[in-house]
Structure 1
């Protein structure tokens, strides 16, 4: 196994220059932006699609959740295994072109089945993005800078959600939901070319004390066994999965909630709600990453997990208020505070998982984590909201506005469960000196 110092990976004259590292992180963040924009745009279009295609909340939940997540999560693992052996930037570029084209095709759907198949296509394409991106960033940045770098990357979620809601709502208001899918989907193909031309493929293990060997790549089963033996990693994956279950469910349905319960239209949501979410998300995500890097340097990696547990617990009452208050201004203000605190988890969680993973298992660990997160969080979260809403209508004779309100409130109640797992992860990280193994 060839060796190299961590400093070589950080030096501008080393394997990857400082400028190239920044360009690559920017391109990966832009890719994640398009990924989440193409995923999130459906949320602002749900009411228009419901009316046009005559769907119920359960069908909307399937489109938002399991139809996308089943393929997105499942295919992520074999693609990540390939990314541990082949060019990661090429895989990302091909995946980006595929899901962008499928997003545009959503605008041509004439019924539920056609839209379902197009959404499955988006999920298949997006499966090739996050695991190799996590692996590349982990190789570009050393452990004490990784949370900040992955927090920057995670801005793709916040900014993508804003763009999907803003452009989707605005275009739908002035044109229709089909045009919105076309306008948002097609530019991603251009970005795919830029990623292929200008992103750099870092040497594996470049930012760690030891460079990874070029052969003897572990299997997916080896990666799963190694992850399951690591108690800190297990609790981190559990915490982020429950967080994603709540987050995806609430995020995908919140625009519909505002439209139904407060009488807003798509343009209202685009110009008022979307910017509030974007500001809170950017400040929370970047601030959380920077604070996490400071805490890791000052106290050790375990402090990052404790930080997430504390801030998410602080966000909990404000999250409940969003779905309880009947004044739209107070409700959105409460949601702003909740997002400001709870979005801290993104960069630190994935940085901790990458720091715990063996060098040759980084893409596989990312894929296994994302498989669980997305199958349960993205797959079940939005679907569960729709199903519960329909059940509340039947059981309590609620209208669709009130049933959606209490469905979202019910899901938000799971937040302390996620906090528990982050607290337990911190205990094992501290006990084992960030190794987390038995």
Structure 2
């Protein structure tokens, strides 16, 4: 691993040098263990501690197959799917690995008693398998997390509809929270040259998800002038949704849970902000009963901010806690687009406000190849910026996941894998200088 890191840090290394590097037999990786899936049985979700279930193990380098690449991972990041994996909710991910292992002889590699997790990376290509022509050893890359087989016609119009669509590092093995990762070569995209390794690793999953959810024809099809209600607007997903709204000529109405988070939204350029904690919104009277009066109070507050207009789009991801309010406050003919359910999967809402007002609910999940590429291109051009707030070492990944689980973070939380320190990997210093303030908006908040 030292020779690999030395080659990455040397300005004189060539593709031939990387191709000639011997691969190690093993590497360090963050894992969960199959024999520990019941370790949190009987505990409430909030009490399940990723620091107990995430392990730093030495694992064998996987076999490289056709159309695949091995990447030396300089940095990665923690997503909410890392938290779900670590607390074995809503299901253990080993069921995903078992099903994937039955697809082919090659995918059988993924069905192991340990799961190397992580759905983001920034790093350098070490090896490519047969049939890979677009990438070569030494290329600096980021990876999106869409894994598909594309043997069915269903996925050829929108790869997210492939029956074998999976999220790499969550529903497959050999993810990015490690020193080496195994990816399909069509997951690779050019690393934005003005960003450090840890900054480049931060946007991948959430940036692509927000792009499809808001901008794409497969999502809400946001246009100039739209009012967009964004739940958790300073968080991992919401911080990119806020940027897309601002960059696309829409008006974000940012819902946050503290003044500190409100200030982050202002730094991004948002002006219309609702602090749901300060204004004491309680959308549920008790565990079983929602409070429509609170929906109406939220709608009134939105109209006060917008000059009398309702929202055209609701960017939904909390799920159960907020979904009834989201359906209510959307304007007639508007769209509620949902990509997650972090507060619970069992949604309920008053259907009269949906059907009689011709509203739409759109399900959105990650992004297809083209959407991920377009989202990364916007980062590379300096139009959308990483929202990295804090960086941990690989050894501290359990603490990083714990912070995300407890919502004790802003934006995205990064993890250094092979990179020995922060700030490395910047190639275009001129472009970086033009956007330095925006790149660092979330740091040390």
Larger RCO: 1 or 2 (CA < 8 Å, sep 6+):
1
Superposition TM-score, scaled by structure 2 size: 0.24
Structure holding more strand per residue: 2
Structure holding more helix per residue: 1
